[in-house]
Amino acid sequence: MEKRILVVDDEQSMLDFMETVLEDAGYEVLLADGADKALEIFFRQEVSLVFLDLRLFGVNGMELCRKMRQKKPLTILYAMTGWSGLFDIEECREAGFDDYFAKPLRLETIMKAVEGAFEKRARWLIKINLI
């Protein structure tokens, strides 16, 4: 099973942080600084987990999540935001996110979430006999 993670954020510092942390932990990391690039990567490559910023320049992360969820329902989708007052958990769940994280993200929280995502995905794939 591929352990490929897509991180979508329009802040370069967040992309750099997530890339360093996740690659150091042994994961393959793909980066997108906007919605168009994110969708191109997501539809072209097999991605197991997506960390998606809710406020991308010019795009609502909720809508991007809906598109991803519709196309690949077994991908784990995590919302990230520095604007937690603007987005509530119920709205994120309704859009299709599996979990929600407020920025700044803590290293321990990220790693626990990533490990849990890959464990969940492995259970799902075994259940439907894909691995």
Write down the domain spans for the chain.
1-23+37-100
Question: For 1-23+37-100, CATH number?
Answer: 3.40.50.2300
Cα 128 to Cα 8, 54, 121, distances in angstroms: 28, 31, 11
Scanning the structure block, which residue is given the tokens 């439907």?
128
pLDDT at 13 exceeding the cut of 80: yes
Q: What is the pLDDT of residues 36-84, one digit of tens each?
A: 999 999 999 999 999 999 988 878 888 999 999 999 999 999 999 875 5
- Mean pLDDT score of the chain: 89
Q: pTM of the predicted model, to two decimals?
A: 0.90
